[in-house]
């Protein structure tokens, strides 16, 4: 998968896996990652699907309606890529913390829904429930931050609440923060994510 890897300066930190929103690329979230932790390794990946020229991590049939077969295939593809990247760059495969926005948050959530060892933690900015009606793996105490907008037309409050419930039932330690905005990622949300991250990894 097309990607950027930056080696961090502090080996005790996890590797930050950056997953952009629709129309973004591997450059989009670098500034965000540096804001969260400028000393950690960064692995930033570009989604392999194009929708009218816009990169995404999996196909959708309509806004908010996912192509589940493709979601499963792309989730597996990303899972395999993480293994390869860990070997290539020599970072700890067991210590990857995803930072995803929108479509990128959805594929990060899909990694959690399908594998018990894909991620050591996740910051999900404006995620949805990637898939319904499946049993989740044991996510024993995996820390997850959800940033949600009370007026987000794409990811409704119900989606965020359902995602929190599903992840918590699987054993994840979920912290959800609400902001009186829409789908955009705002400075107060980034600050809340950073505070959450520091409480666990600093
Ligand atoms: C998705 O398709 O993953 C969501 O609707 C969010 C987005 O458009 O990126």
Condensed to tens digits (0 to 9), the pLDDT of residues 70-80 reads 999 999 999 99
| pLDDT confidence of residue 168 | 98
Condensed to tens digits (0 to 9), the pLDDT of residues 9-62 reads 999 999 999 999 999 999 999 999 999 999 999 999 999 999 999 999 999 999
Residue 37 designated active-site = no
The secondary structure of the chain as a DSSP string is --EEEE--S-TTSPEEEEE--TT--TTTTHHHHHHH-TTSEEEEE--SEEETTEEESS-EEETTEE-HHHHHHHHHHHHHHHHHHHHHHT--TT-EEEEEETHHHHHHHHHHHH-SSS-SEEEEES------SSPPPP-TT-EEEEEEETT-SSS-HHHHHHHHHHHHHTT-EEEEEEESS-SS--HHHHHHHHHHHHHHH-
| pLDDT confidence of residue 17 | 98
Ligand 1 centroid from CA 58, angstroms: 9
Confidence of residue 200 (pLDDT cuts 50, 70, 90): very high
| pLDDT confidence of residue 80 | 98
Residue nearest (by alpha carbon) to ligand 1 atom 5: 64
Average pLDDT of the residues in 82-104: 98
Residue 3 designated active-site = no
Q: Are the CB atoms for 124 and 103 separated by under 8 Å?
A: no
| pLDDT confidence of residue 120 | 98
Ligand 1 centroid from CA 99, angstroms: 15
| pLDDT confidence of residue 87 | 98
Confidence of residue 138 (pLDDT cuts 50, 70, 90): very high
| pLDDT confidence of residue 152 | 95
Average pLDDT of the residues in 88-116: 98
| pLDDT confidence of residue 124 | 98
Q: Which two tokens stand for residue 135?
A: 């049993």
Q: Which residues are near ligand 1 (CB < 6 Å)?
A: 21-22, 60, 63-64, 102-103, 106, 128, 154
Instruction: Name 70's Cβ contacts closer than 8 Å, sequence gap at least 6.
Output: 49, 58, 59
Query: Which domains, from first to last, does the chain contain?
Result: 3-201 (3.40.50.1820)
Ligand 1 centroid from CA 176, angstroms: 19
Residue 70 designated active-site = no
Average pLDDT of the residues in 101-129: 98
Q: Is 42 exposed, middle or buried (0-12, 13-18, 19+ CB in 10 A)?
A: buried
Condensed to tens digits (0 to 9), the pLDDT of residues 140-188 reads 989 999 999 999 999 999 999 999 999 999 999 999 999 999 999 999 9
Q: Could you say which of 37, 44, 70, 102 is catalytic?
A: 102
C-alpha dihedral sign at 136, 137, 141, 144: negative
Q: What global pTM score does this model have?
A: 0.97
| pLDDT confidence of residue 125 | 98
| pLDDT confidence of residue 190 | 98
């Amino acid at each position: 998968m097309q990607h950027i890897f930056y080696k961090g300066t502090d080996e005790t930190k996890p590797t930050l896996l950056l997953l952009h929103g629709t129309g973004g690329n591997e450059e989009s979230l670098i500034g965000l990652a540096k804001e969260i932790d400028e000393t950690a390794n960064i692995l930033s990946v570009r989604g392999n699907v194009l929708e009218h020229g816009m990169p995404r991590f999996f196909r959708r049939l309509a806004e908010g309606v996912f192509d589940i077969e493709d979601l499963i295939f792309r989730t597996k593809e990303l899972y395999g890529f993480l293994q390869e990247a860990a070997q290539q760059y020599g970072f700890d495969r067991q210590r990857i913390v995803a930072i995803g926005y929108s479509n990128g948050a959805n594929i990060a959530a899909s990694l959690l829904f399908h594998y018990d060892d894909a991620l050591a933690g996740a910051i999900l900015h404006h995620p949805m429930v990637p898939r319904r009606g499946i049993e989740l793996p044991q996510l024993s105490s995996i820390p997850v931050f959800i940033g949600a907008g009370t007026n987000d037309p794409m990811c409704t409050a119900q989606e965020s609440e359902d995602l929190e419930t599903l992840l918590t039932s699987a054993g994840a330690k979920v912290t959800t923060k609400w902001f009186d905005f829409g789908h955009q990622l705002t400075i107060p949300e980034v600050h809340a994510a950073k505070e959450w991250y520091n409480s666990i990894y600093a």
